[in-house]
Every structure is written in C-alpha cells, then in structure tokens.
Amino acid sequence: MGPALVAKSPADGYTVLVSTSAQAYSAALRKDLPYNPLKDFIPVAPLTSQPYVIVAGRLAASLAYASSLRRHEESRVY
C-alpha cells in the first residue's frame, strides 16, 4: 500500500519511501501492481544491507545438486 501511494505522489522531492529489498523483486511476484517498481522510483541511498540464505532439504547435498533438481522438477520448487 505504501509504495502505491508514493508512486502516485507528485515528484516534488517531499515524499520519500523507505523500503526493503522486497521492492526490487515485487514485480516478478505480482503482475497486478498499480505501479512499476523499476520505473516509478529512483533509488537515493542504501540504508542497510541484508544477508540472504538458501535453504534446501536434506536430499540436496550441495547447491549444484539443488540447482539441478530445480531445473528438472519445476513443479516442486516453492
């Protein structure tokens, strides 16, 4: 809701959106956004950094193996 309100605000420099990295990939997750996260916003400054973690089941003994499973079993990847 916040990004949609900011996207509709005048580009006068008085409205600022502080968001997480979710803003970067929201277009890939939802096709019905009322704004374009890549074109409607201008990044100003990074405030934090976030670590990312890859989680796999016990059958995936390595990242390479987990990646190969993903390519062959698209319907089982969540």
Contact 60, 66 (CB under 8 A): yes
Which residue has 């989680």 as its token pair? 55
pLDDT in tens, 5-56: 888 898 888 888 888 777 777 777 778 888 888 888 888 888 887 777 777 6
Which pTM was predicted? 0.51
At 60, the pLDDT band (50, 70, 90 cuts) reads low
Amino acid at 26: S
At 72, the pLDDT band (50, 70, 90 cuts) reads low
At 69, the pLDDT band (50, 70, 90 cuts) reads low
Which residue has 């973690």 as its token pair? 53
* C-alpha–C-alpha distance, residues 55 and 66, integer Å: 10
